[in-house]
Structure 1
Amino acid sequence: MNIALIAHDKKKDDLVRFAVAYKPIFEKHTLFATGTTGLRIMEATELPVHRFQSGPLGGDQEIGAKIAKNEMDAIFFFRDPLTAQPHEPDVTALVRLCDVYAIPLATNMGTAEILVRGLERGDLDWRYIVKESSDQENGNN
């Protein structure tokens, strides 16, 4: 599955620790991340991560485009609700796209724990069916 890992500055340490703790689960999937977050996760876990631009430079929008194309299966976005973000409209758009396309989204450690355990158990395998159906509708076999 394609999984995006994103964190606001004050939440990057938390997401890196989370990725280290769940490396055995994440290593079975394809990881994507925004700029600095992706670099820090790669350094801490030695997992391959496809890095987009940083969030304020369009990384959130790049991930949003993958969601809109049905190319993202789960998002771990550790948000900082106490600090104003200069790219808040992009953050809001990303969350909205997850809702529109029914992409599981964890915005905090509590939900992330549940989502990663569900990923481990195969609870997100329905995404394979959604992708297959979408591919057939678009003529991609």
Structure 2
Amino acid sequence: MLQEGFFVTTKAGISIKDFLTDYLKIDSDYISRRISTLLLNGIPVDDLDSETLADGSVLALSAAMPGLAGSIFRKGGYLAGLRSKVGKKDIAAKPDSDAWVKVKLFNALVADLGPGLLSRGIWIKASSLNALRQEGKICAKTTGSYPTDEMIHIVITIS
């Protein structure tokens, strides 16, 4: 669920750094030490203060990845010059509007950040919740299915 992506509402135009600290409640020190790869709409991010989010943005976060690919995509990495400049164009932010941002967590970040995010609650598409229930990966107290285009707020306590 966390790798496929969950949604967070924020203000359009917020910096990635402010989004991570203010909305996801991730400590600044953790961000600098553990989150080594960030992709915004499929494009690597080096400067978290200057890159901003808009409605429909997709932000992927990863701890260190092994090998050459990990070195190339690492924020501020020595091999950043080897990155391709091809990717999705930035999504324009509408000032003073709300934005739904899709967040994806990978590798060690799932275990580190997942429990806290889930206990505070995340938004997922109803189609994702329905699929998790059908696959037996989640036991929901509700019955029936939600319309697939709805967003559902879920809170999960991990003990």
TM bucket normalised to smaller: under 0.3
Q: Which has the higher strand share?
A: 2
Query: Whose RCO is larger (CA < 8 A, sep 6+)?
Result: 2
Question: When the two structures are superposed, what TM-score results if normalisation uses the length of structure 2?
Answer: 0.23
